[in-house]
Amino acid sequence: MALARADGRVERGNQTRQMILGRAVQIASVEGLEGLSLGRLATELGLSKSGVFALFGSKEELQLATVRAAVTVYVDHVLRPARSVPPGLRRVWRLCEAWTAYSRDRVFRGGCFFYAATAEFDSRPGKVHDALAAAQTGWVTFVEQTIDEARAAGELAADTDAGQLAFEIIAFLELANAESVLQNSSLGYEKAARSVLGRLRAAATDPALLPTPRRVPSPLR
């Protein structure tokens, strides 16, 4: 009986922690990680401040846990859909589609969580900076590996520079996210898709593996 009660408390604690982090990632995506506080989350979620403090201990620990929670969401919405496609050029394109949907559909209310958080902490040394840097490195590495797989499969030219191509693709996607959030417009996603497709088609051994770029409508004047 004592073990059952202990297990029940642990499960309730885990559920409360996940509820707090679910709220925290949304706040941070709009207001930044500095917009988080244990007291605010307790008040908004109707929890005791002491209970929230017991789960996280400090603002920095809350921020680090929020970054880890955001990584999990990112993996589910971007990396997993890409991995559902066999290695090759179609996986590269599926990765770009998944990222676009993640940003455009506002999985995080403020757009890409990591685009915003990195800008907030890029010049601020510390554990949060290091956690964000590690997340970005992991993402860039995944894109490079996905491109390398396509090259190894013979679907990208043998002289394709995976690092350079990954850099360009990520830049196109992040600019689309920034424009969408700032201008409240989705046109940037179409522009990014055309740019990425143009770059991939130029490097592809068989461009027919990729969809045809769509024309981007001109903004209404």
pLDDT in tens, 140-169: 999 999 999 999 999 999 999 999 999 999
Q: Which domain holds residue 36?
A: 2-208
| Average pLDDT over the chain, rounded to an integer | 92
Question: Could you tell me if residue 213 is inside a domain?
Answer: no
pLDDT-based confidence at residue 193 (cuts at 50, 70, 90):
very high
Q: Could you tell me which residue, 176 or 214, shows the higher pLDDT? A: 176
Whether the model clears a pTM of 0.85, i.e. scores above it, the answer is: yes
| Domain count for the chain | 1
The burial class, CB within 10 Å (0-12 / 13-18 / 19+), for 2 is exposed
pLDDT tens, 36-50? 999 999 999 999 989
**CB-facing half-sphere around the CA of 45: CA atoms within 13 A:** 22
Residue 149 vs residues 11, 153, 156, 200: alpha-carbon distances, Å: 40, 6, 9, 14
Question: Could you tell me if residue 123 is inside a domain?
Answer: yes
Question: Could you tell me if residue 221 is inside a domain?
Answer: no
Query: Dihedral angle at the C-alpha atoms of 161, 163, 164, 167, nearest 10 degrees?
Result: 150
User: 198 - beta bridge partners?
Assistant: none
Question: Could you tell me if residue 145 is inside a domain?
Answer: yes
Question: Could you tell me if residue 214 is inside a domain?
Answer: no
The Cα–Cα gap between 145 and 206 comes to: 20
Question: Could you tell me if residue 215 is inside a domain?
Answer: no
Question: Could you tell me if residue 9 is inside a domain?
Answer: yes
Question: Could you tell me if residue 19 is inside a domain?
Answer: yes
pLDDT-based confidence at residue 220 (cuts at 50, 70, 90):
very low
CATH code of residue 146: 1.10.357.10
